[in-house]
C-alpha cells in the first residue's frame, strides 16, 4: 500500500517537472525561465492558493468541533515556525531560519492529498473541513516567518523598531498581502460569482505549478550544496522535526476531536512542509534566503519521509 502511494506521488507530473529542472542543470542545459515570469507565477500561485482556501472556509458549516479543529490548526501554524526558527537561527542565520520556519509551519497540499489517499486505502474517512484547516494554516506561518526575520534583522542592524511596526511591515509585504487578501476575498466572495474565475484559479493551476517547480528544480540543483554546507544537522532536522510534531499532534489531537481520520490529517498537517506557497512567498519577501536550502529540505527529505514512514506511524498512534 505504501509503495503504491509513493509511486503515485513520484509520478505526479508537477513533481516530475521539478526533477526535469534538476536534470537540466546536471546536463548543463541552457534552459532558463525569465525572472519576471517566475515573479508573476509566484504571485499567481499565492493568489490561487489563498482564494481556493477562502472558498473552502466559506463552504464549511461551523460547529463546536470544527471551530476547535480550525483553532488547533491555527495554533500549530504559529507554534511550529517559532520553534523551528529559534532552533535553526544559530546555525543558518536569520533569513534562512525564517524561510525554513515558514516552510515547516505551513503545509504541503501534495502531502495532504497523499494522506487522503492513504486513508482511502485504509477505508477511513475524514471531515471535509480538514481542507479548510489546511487552507487556514498557509498564511499565518508565512507571516510568522517574515515577522521573525524583520524583527531579528532590525536588532542586528541596531534599529529600534517596535513589535507593532515589525508586524505591520510583515502584513504589508507583497506576498503576505496576496495570499492573505486572496484568502479573505475567497471567504466573502459569492460562490456563484467565484465560479467565473474558476478556470483561472483551478483549471490552469497545475500548469503554472509545473513551470514553477521546474524553476525550483533548477534552483535546487544549483544550490544543493547549501544543505551539505550546513552539515548533517540540517538533514537530521528535516527528518526528526516534522516526525516529532506529527507524533505529538497524533496524541494531542484527541483533546480536539475523537475522529480517527481527522486526527490523522491533523498529524500530517503538523508534519508536512510547504514547497509551493512558501518558496513562492519567500522569493518575493526574502530573496536572500537560500532556496537551495529550504526547498530540498521540504521536498527532498521531509516529503518522502512523511509518505513512507510518517503516515503509518501517525495512523497507528491515532488508532491506539
What are the structural domain ranges in the chain? 2-6+14-20+34-319
> For residue 193, what pLDDT band results from cuts at 50, 70 and 90?
confident
- Among 143-157, 158-172, 197-211, 306-320, the minimum mean pLDDT is found in 158-172
In the predicted model, what is the mean pLDDT of residues 78-83?
94
> For residue 221, what pLDDT band results from cuts at 50, 70 and 90?
confident
Helix, strand, coil: what percent of the chain each, to 5? 80, 0, 20
pLDDT at 260: 93
pLDDT at 159: 53
Distance in angstroms (rounded) separating the CA atoms of residues 104 and 92: 15
pLDDT at 264: 96
Query: Is the pLDDT assigned to residue 114 strictly greater than 70?
Result: yes
Distance in angstroms (rounded) separating the CA atoms of residues 140 and 206: 24
> For residue 303, what pLDDT band results from cuts at 50, 70 and 90?
confident
Query: Is the pLDDT assigned to residue 127 strictly greater than 70?
Result: yes
The pLDDT > 90 percentage for the chain reads 27
The maximal CA–CA distance of the chain, rounded, in angstroms, is 57
Distance in angstroms (rounded) separating the CA atoms of residues 311 and 320: 14
Q: Which of the two residues, 61 and 169, has the higher pLDDT score? A: 61
pLDDT in tens, 232-268: 889 899 999 999 999 999 999 999 999 999 999 999 9
- Among 22-26, 32-36, 159-163, the minimum mean pLDDT is found in 159-163
Highest mean pLDDT among 59-68, 73-82, 297-306: 73-82
pLDDT at 200: 85
pLDDT at 71: 92
> Per this entry, what is the length of the chain?
320
Query: Is the pLDDT assigned to residue 30 strictly greater than 80?
Result: yes
> For residue 166, what pLDDT band results from cuts at 50, 70 and 90?
low
Distance in angstroms (rounded) separating the CA atoms of residues 198 and 51: 10
Q: Which of the two residues, 80 and 290, has the higher pLDDT score? A: 80
Q: Which of the two residues, 247 and 8, has the higher pLDDT score? A: 247
> For residue 206, what pLDDT band results from cuts at 50, 70 and 90?
confident
Query: Is the pLDDT assigned to residue 203 strictly greater than 80?
Result: yes
Contact 77, 136 (CB under 8 A): yes
pLDDT at 157: 60
Query: Is the pLDDT assigned to residue 2 strictly greater than 60?
Result: no
pLDDT at 283: 77
Alpha carbon separation from 50 to 1, 153, 244 (Å, rounded): 32, 28, 28
> Using CA atoms in the order 69, 74, 80, 83, what is the torsion angle rounded to 10 degrees?
-120
The topology under which CATH files domain 2-6+14-20+34-319 is Na+/H+ antiporter like fold (1.20.1530)
Query: Is the pLDDT assigned to residue 1 strictly greater than 60?
Result: no
In the predicted model, what is the mean pLDDT of residues 185-211?
84
Amino acid at each position: 500500500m505504501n509503495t503504491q502511494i509513493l509511486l503515485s506521488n513520484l509520478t505526479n507530473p508537477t513533481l516530475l517537472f521539478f526533477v526535469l529542472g534538476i536534470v537540466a542543470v546536471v546536463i548543463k542545459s541552457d534552459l532558463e525561465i525569465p525572472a519576471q515570469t517566475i515573479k508573476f507565477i509566484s504571485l499567481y500561485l499565492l493568489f490561487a492558493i489563498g482564494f481556493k482556501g477562502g472558498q473552502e472556509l466559506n463552504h464549511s458549516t461551523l460547529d463546536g468541533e470544527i471551530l476547535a479543529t480550525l483553532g488547533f490548526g491555527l495554533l500549530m501554524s504559529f507554534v511550529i515556525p517559532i520553534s523551528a526558527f529559534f532552533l535553526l537561527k544559530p546555525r543558518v542565520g536569520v533569513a534562512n531560519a525564517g524561510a525554513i520556519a515558514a516552510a515547516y509551519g505551513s503545509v504541503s497540499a501534495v502531502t495532504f492529498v497523499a494522506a487522503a489517499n492513504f486513508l482511502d486505502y485504509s477505508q477511513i474517512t475524514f471531515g471535509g473541513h480538514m481542507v479548510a484547516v489546511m487552507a487556514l494554516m498557509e498564511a499565518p506561518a508565512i507571516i510568522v516567518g517574515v515577522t521573525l526575520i524583520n524583527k531579528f534583522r532590525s536588532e542586528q542592524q541596531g534599529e529600534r523598531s517596535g513589535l507593532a511596526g515589525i508586524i505591520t511591515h510583515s502584513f504589508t509585504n507583497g506576498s503576505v498581502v496576496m495570499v492573505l487578501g486572496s484568502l479573505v476575498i475567497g471567504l466573502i466572495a459569492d460562490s456563484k460569482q467565484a465560479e467565473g474565475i474558476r478556470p483561472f484559479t483551478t483549471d490552469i493551476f497545475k500548469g503554472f505549478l509545473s513551470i514553477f517547480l521546474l524553476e525550483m528544480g533548477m534552483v535546487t540543483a544549483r544550490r544543493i550544496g547549501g544543505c551539505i554546507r550546513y552539515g548533517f544537522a540540517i538533514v537530521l532536522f528535516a527528518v526528526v522535526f516534522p516526525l516529532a510534531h506529527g507524533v505529538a499532534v497524533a496524541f494531542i489531537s484527541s483533546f480536539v476531536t475523537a475522529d480517527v481520520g481527522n486526527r490523522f490529517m491533523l498529524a500530517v498537517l503538523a508534519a508536512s512542509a510547504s514547497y509551493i506557497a512558501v518558496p513562492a512567498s519567500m522569493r518575493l519577501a526574502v530573496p536572500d534566503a537560500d532556496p537551495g536550502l529550504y526547498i530540498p529540505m521540504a521536498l527532498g527529505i521531509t516529503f518522502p519521509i512523511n509518505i513512507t514512514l510518517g503516515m503509518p506511524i501517525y495512523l497507528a498512534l491515532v488508532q491506539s
